[in-house]
Amino acid sequence: MPEPTPVHDAVEVISAKRDRHELSDSQIDWVVDAYTRGVVADEQMSALAMAILLNGMDRREIARWTAAMIASGERMDFSGLSRPTADKHSTGGVGDKITLPLAPLVAACGVAVPQLSGRGLGHTGGTLDKLESIPGWRAALSNDEMFAQLESLGAVICAAGDGLAPADKKLYALRDVTGTVEAIPLIASSIMSKKIAEGTGALVLDVKVGTGAFMKDVDAARELAETMVTLGQDAGVHTVALLTDMSTPLGLTAGNAIEVQESVDVLAGGGPADVVELTLALAREMLAGAGRGDVDPADKLADGSAMDAWHRMIQAQGGDSNAALPTAREQHVVAAPTSGVLTRLDAMAVGLAAWRLGAGRARKEDPVQAGAGVVWHARPGDAVTAGQPLFTLLTDDEHRFERALASLEGGYDIGTEGSSYDATPLVIDRIG
């Protein structure tokens, strides 16, 4: 039996958006489905993505595009769990290990966390890469395994299955190589199609802004946050967003195993103050969205409940949470050139250095080194003394040090002793 004549064609849809017209619901449904099935070619979808980047979409178009992405695959349902669900998504940064302590912390407060995470690309680290530095830990779980772990333990961090928004997986890879990653309608629909399809009851978005973030400008970050919050709310998901600073990297480490260790330090009641602050801020938003705003997550850090939840979560996915973490074979110490006050530490410079040391990847298929990364021994506002360690660079391949050092050149400033330092608030704004 012959294929039915399509109701639209790719050139028609591309031309409409090129000429700044709104796409109809029918056009959006058709083009997303046709691209997923291979009827619309990559070069045609590239042209449409560029037209969307240049000419934008209104609220109805973005909502319909997101719905079409969701409809391309399966939807998960956690309504059968005995506890409410909440999830968090970060738009990515440097030293952003927040998911690791956050998921067990929220679980310890009585809310289930179905955290579908990804791998790093470029200067931004990936949650799965960090966790895979733990001996034995596995990222791939079936839906049944995920549901069972959520019911018994309350927290899962794992890879998304191929059945969740396959249209997004295909389109994301295309945007990455066609200069259209920055299109806010496509960013918002990419993130929210997966999160809505995931089936969580509440969602908190950590939208990073600053030199080390995808969004460099506060106004653009706020536009993205507002778009995503609207998409979530329209889909019946309690959604809020925090705009958070990513001009300075989070914590004191950027890498894989070293960020796991820093996360464990937070769960043990220590860790860098900024990591603790953001973890608690996001936990409180997740708990409030799930109807458990009466629980103070700080208490669960203090009494060891969050650490217990961490051990159970890691062990349930085959990991040895008590095993020694991998360490790099080589290290290089960068000393402070002068005495004074560290007034700036650029997140992008640190992220690029960690990437060049082997902690990240240039292509999705590239391997990463578990022990590679950057440790910084001072944060902006701290006094430093000439000759003291400022950075420790870690890698298995000594030849990587040269390019990593080049990344750090100009990436920090040391002012004279007594120099003032005006700290940017970690949480810049709340939307939703």
Q: State the catalytic residues.
A: 89, 168, 175, 190, 194
Assigned token pair, 248: 């300075």
Strands 330-335 and 389-395: antiparallel
The number of beta carbons lying within 10 Å of the beta carbon of residue 422 is 7
Q: How deeply is 79 buried, as exposed, middle or buried, from its count of CB atoms within 10 A (0-12, 13-18, 19+)?
A: exposed
* Contact criterion met (CB below 8 Å) for 157 and 141: no
Q: Which amino acid is at 242?
A: L
Strand order of the β-sheet with 427-431 is 86-90, 202-209, 238-245, 427-431
Instruction: Give, to the nearest 10 degrees, the angle between helix 143-152 and helix 305-316.
Output: 150
The runs of H, that is alpha helices, within 109-154 are: 127-131, 143-152
- Which of 210, 142, 255 is CA-nearest to residue 346? 210
Residue 65: alpha-carbon gap to chain centroid? 22
Assigned token pair, 26: 């029918």
Strand residues in 64-106 grouped as ranges (E)? 86-90
Assigned token pair, 382: 């701290």
* Contact criterion met (CB below 8 Å) for 308 and 108: yes
Which residues contact residue 137 at a Cβ distance below 8 angstroms, ignoring those fewer than 6 apart?
131, 314, 317, 318, 319
At residue 370, the 3 state secondary structure works out as coil
- Which of 322, 288, 293 is CA-nearest to residue 307? 322
